[in-house]
Amino acid sequence: MKGDKSKDIFNMFDQESPIATEMRRLYSNIRNKLQKKSMRSFLITSANRGEGKSTVASHLALTVARFKEKKSLIVDSDLRRPKIDKIFNVPKEPGLFECLEGKADPLDVVKDTRIENLKVITSGRTERSPAHLFERDVMTQIFDKIKFYYDIVIVDSAPVIPVSDPMLVSGAVDGVILVTLAGKTPRNVAIRAKKILQDADANIIGVVINNLSEVLPYYYDYNYYGYSSKFKK
């Protein structure tokens, strides 16, 4: 659908829709964390493919940019199955890949969207085995630089069970939001994803229950709703 403006997120996003309402709720939940702990960058991941990571990441970014008018940036760290370029209808290259390679400066690959205070860093070149590129120091440098210019950074990523890429990114962000697909992500699989992230010292701050047919996603504060205790081993 690349290049088809009628299908991009700006035309599809309805501020009055249930998903927009839930996204505002999600944002108001994480806003407290933003203020209290000066958290600014959030990784959106899930256990497996197709659970709604890119959808949640892009709607959240759009909501933050529109609702609070914060200087917002969405980064596509899924170099295997990138989608943010299509969702926001911007060229895929250059992007994060070129920054990780050391061939581009993150600020130089930032692209505009149709919303003034929402910018995008796309995946850049698609890479089948990018794990070697996600070096912790390089990632941290990139995110430190980006965070200096943006109030909030939302990072879309690959799923944690099939690949290790998101764990390598998680150390460079302030918090991780785990997306699960209602009725589809088995409990033990969600628990495994959580364990993998925790073993990588990721700071899981919440769980989004995404549902393709209902008024969702719902956001659960990881601690507040007792998810952490339900989730124990």
83 binds Mg ion (CB under 5 A): yes
Which residue from 56, 35, 36, 34 is spatially nearest to 44, judged by alpha carbons?
Answer: 56
* 178 and 194 Cβ atoms separated by less than 8 Å: yes
State the DSSP code for 204.
Answer: E
Question: Considering the rule CB under 6 A, would residue 50 count as an interface residue with ligand ATP?
Answer: yes
Nearest to 180 by CA among 227, 128, 123: 227
* Binds ligand ATP (CB under 6 A): choice among 78, 98, 165, 174: 78
Part in contact with Mg ion (CB under 5 A); list of ranges 48-56, 160-168, 183-191, 207-215: 48-56
Which option in ligand ATP, Mg ion, none does residue 52 bind, with CB closer than 5 to 8 A by kind?
A: ligand ATP
Comparing CB distances to ligand ATP, the nearer of 46 and 63 is 46
Q: Tell me: does residue 53 bind Mg ion (CB under 5 A).
A: yes
At 72, give phi and psi (nearest 5°): -120, 150
Closest alpha carbon to 155 in 135, 172, 180: 172
Q: Does 86 bind Mg ion (CB under 5 A)?
A: no
Rg (CA), the chain: 16
For 144-217, list the strands marked E by DSSP: 152-156, 175-181, 204-210
The one among 41, 46, 72, 89 contacting ligand ATP by CB under 6 A: 46
1 binds ligand ATP (CB under 6 A): no
The token pair that represents 96 in the structure block = 């994060």
Number of residues that bind ligand ATP (CB under 6 A): 16
Binding residues for ligand ATP, rule: CB under 6 A, are: 19, 46, 49-55, 78, 81, 83, 159, 210, 212, 217
